[in-house]
Amino acid sequence: MNQLKNIAFIGNSLPRRCGIATFTTDLQHAVSKSPAHVATAIVAMTDHGHVYDYPPEVRLSIADENRDDYIRAADVLNSGNFDVACLQHEFGIFGGENGEHIVALLSRLKMPVVTTLHTVLAEPSSGQRRVLNKIIDLSDKLVVMAEKGRTLLSEVYHVAAEKIEVVPHGIPDMPFLEPAVSKAGLGFDGRSVILTFGLLSPNKGIEVMIDAMPLILKSRPDAVYVILGATHPNLVRDEGEAYRESLVTRVNDLGIEDSVVFLDRFVDKATLLEFISMCDVYATPYLNEAQMTSGTLAYSFGLGKAVVSTPYWHAQELLANDRGVLVPFGDPTAIGREIASLLTNDARRDVMRRQAYQTSRPMTWQKTAERYLALFSQVAIQNLARWPAASKNVVMQKAPPLPELQLGYFMSMCDDTGLFQHAVYSVPDRAHGYCVDDNARALLLSVALNEPGERLLPEALPSRFASFVQHAWNPDEKHFRNFMGFDRRWLEDKGSQDSHGRTLWALGECARGDTSPSRRAWATALFAQALPTVEGFGSPRAWAFALLGLDGYCAASPQDVLAQHIRSSLADRMMDIFHRVERTGWTWFEENLSYDNARLCQALIVTGLGAARPDYVAAGLKSLRWLLTIQTGPEGLFRPIGTDGFTDRAGEVKHFDQQPLEASATIAACHAAWRVGHDITWKKEAAKAFAWFLGSNDLSLPVVDLETGSCRDGLHPTRLNENRGGESVVCYLLGLLEYRKLSRASGHPSTFGQLRALTA
């Protein structure tokens, strides 16, 4: 079950006729239809003098000039158990000077706010800057739809990078279609169709496109320019239809009335998509560079249309690299020449269309909803609530719970032998069989589920994992085997040092915390047999895993003097390499960083706490602090070391591929660090690492599927790794359990105690 239950969207809503209304409604529909099963509602802004027949999803409306309505809306949202409010901001849709009335609503909300900025002004007036700065301060995250928006927020408004997310404008998920079918249905069969749609207003540059038509008609006499859209309501209110009439006059003066069609209507989405489908070229001849977002451009691009546009900000980014054609502002000759070229070169037009369509697939409303839901989950988990402008008191709230533990996918990855290593997407991959590494992790998971407040695995599963570990033990080699084929044949006589250490870790925790006395006794005995082998190891990770196991084993068998001796010996070895390798700018145990890095820090911390050795604890904390600086991206998000690690101490960090293993290890290490002095910093860092699973990462995409509990194998530079193997799902579940355990020890996971402590 998803932790998010209720999302409120604040903005214009259909049937109001404007781009913000369309966007708000589309986003709300996409989120409500997502697999997350989140309830949604809209708080609709109603412009003066209008009444709309809003659909049921509009919970209430606000008369834009009535400040009391904004305050009433805040009360309704606060009492409605909403987890997050998502504001759609555009200058001109809110009442008060420069739209300041919206601040009265935001400042009273008791839930996190994610604000989508549809316009970011490069040169705001003092009043616009003042209001937008208030909105920025009252928002937990800001969403813009183009990189230019990120740049302006940073350079003009000095917004911290970690507060900004770029999520492109959503588009309908339509098949790639040829125009002919739609042309016939709409009466344009046999014509070369150029389309512009949207509310008509002078800044759209329709005049320029009309002036370009005579040039186009010289090359393509069959061309027709279709101008689809009603006149902007504000323009009609102030000037009537004078602007549209001026365009008609211009067409008549040029003698091209048979080649320009005005369709004066606001069409529904199905009709709009039909019109886009039938065009050969889409034109956006806007006159102003400062156009941050264009829904019309996004929709046409997403349906695989050849687009010719002036270089406003959104078009510059979307149409780069020959995904469309850019022409100078106000230049009829340039736009006419480019459109004529496309209409007379089918091959070039087709290549451009296909490139646009392929590039736009991550922009579908489904994908957009996923990215917004990841942001909503992030702010809900972190609970970055605000200080209301009118009060110095802390706003307390009941924050949403952490994700519920879903074990269905984990159990589907198990058979009567144990946990499979890999999956192809979410299908267990028998070709790669099993390994003791993953079955030891699964045994760790079964023990972690014995904590108060958690539910146990079915008894057959921990027994199966224990049996796998027992079978992996090779008494002749005094070593655990690691890899087993699907036919249950071992592929080696002994595994790696790290897999041996990890198995000891699972056995130590089983000896301390398993619910079965018999299995605790088994784990104790096998641990004692396998422990001495570690003394011959040279891998710092194997030492660290063994130390984590010794923490549990020594608690269960305090009389074992040999185990205590080996614990001190391994910890001293780690201290030795730490002091030998550490130098300015490099506070680590090795000359590079590779995988499961935080476990080295965790091992020293827990060993120091268990053995009463402050020097171990201090080294563990020091190395963890340094590691966290390395694992923090420029936007303040958790960014684990990629699978390639560092090339060397002076080399470049490899950020990909990022794997769940690192997030899980970091959460556990931060929990251990928190135990030392209950420093809230460690809780914050654990929250950042856990939020990586939920989408607070370089791709702003959730790594985990909260509905099933499956976890993707990691992040590539541009996409998720959709395979969901045994290691990944267990690491997510262990990370979740560790974070829940930290939360129980220190306060509610989403509030982190009082907000004053969190923001101090």
- Mean per-residue pLDDT for 495-522? 95
User: Is residue 284's pLDDT more than 60?
Assistant: yes
C-alpha 445, offset from chain centre: 26
**159-176 burial code (b ≥16 CB/10 A, e <16):** beeebbbbbbbbbbeeee
Q: Distance (Å, rounded) from C-alpha 489 to C-alpha 646?
A: 36
Per-residue pLDDT at 606 exceeds 50: yes
Tell me what the pLDDT averaged over the chain comes to. Answer: 90
* Tens-digit pLDDT profile for residues 292-343: 788 889 999 999 999 999 999 999 999 998 899 999 999 999 999 999 999 9
Closest CA to 247 of 94, 443, 256, 238: 256
Cα separation values, 547 from 86, 318, 330, 377, Å: 46, 52, 71, 35
CA-to-CA distance for 435 and 429, rounded, in angstroms?
13
Q: Which residue has the tokens 């301390």?
A: 512
Q: Report d(CA 93, CA 135) in Å as an integer.
A: 14
Query: Does position 103 have pLDDT exceeding 80, yes or no?
Result: yes
CA–CA separation, 49 vs 152, rounded Å?
A: 35
Q: Which of 69, 71, 64 is nearest to 99 (CA)?
A: 64
- What pLDDT does residue 388 have? 32
Q: Is the pLDDT of residue 658 over 60?
A: yes
DSSP 404-419: PP--HHHHHTB-SS-B
Rounded Cα–Cα distance for residues 741 and 452 (Å): 9
Is the model more confident about 162 or about 498?
498
Query: Is the pLDDT assigned to residue 755 strictly greater than 50?
Result: no
pLDDT tens digits, residue range 341-398?
999 999 999 999 999 999 999 999 999 999 999 899 888 876 533 333 333 333 333 3
Asked whether residue 752 carries a pLDDT value surpassing 70, the answer given is no
pLDDT for the residue numbered 645 = 67
**26-59: per-residue pLDDT in tens?**
999 999 999 888 999 999 999 988 899 999 999 9
Radius of gyration in angstroms for the set of CA atoms belonging to the chain, rounded to a whole number: 30
User: What are the chain's domains?
Assistant: 6-170+365-382 (3.40.50.2000), 180-362 (3.40.50.2000), 408-759 (1.50.10.10)
Q: How confident is the model at residue 652 (pLDDT cuts 50, 70, 90)?
A: low
Other C-beta atoms within 10 Å of 593: how many? 22
pLDDT of residue 391: 32
3-state secondary structure of 261: strand
pLDDT (0 to 100) of residue 401: 55
Task: Tell me what pLDDT residue 384 has.
Answer: 36
Q: Is the pLDDT of residue 106 over 80?
A: yes
Which of 527, 532, 529 has its CA nearest to residue 556?
Answer: 527
Long-range contacts of 54-63 (CB under 8 A, 24+ apart): 54/13, 54/15, 55/13, 55/14, 57/13, 57/28, 57/32, 58/13, 59/8, 62/105, 63/95
pTM greater than the 0.85 cutoff:
no
Q: What is the pLDDT of residue 4?
A: 81
**Banded model confidence at residue 404, pLDDT cuts 50, 70, 90:** confident
For 43, the 3-state DSSP assignment is strand
The residues, any chain, with a CB within 8 Å of residue 166's CB and separated by 6 or more, are 143, 144, 145, 146, 147, 149, 150
Report the share of the chain in percent with pLDDT over 70: 94
Rounded distance between C-alpha atoms, residue 697 and residue 638, angstroms: 6
Is the predicted pLDDT of residue 524 greater than 70, yes or no?
A: yes
Q: What is the mean pLDDT of residues 418-430?
A: 96
pLDDT digits over 218-255, tens only? 999 999 999 998 888 878 888 889 999 999 999 999 99
Q: Please tell me the predicted confidence (pLDDT) of residue 646.
A: 62
E-assigned strands of 47-146?
A: 58-63, 84-89, 113-117, 141-144
Furthest C-alpha separation in the chain: 102
Rounded distance, CA 700 to CA 743, Å? 24
pLDDT of 655: 80
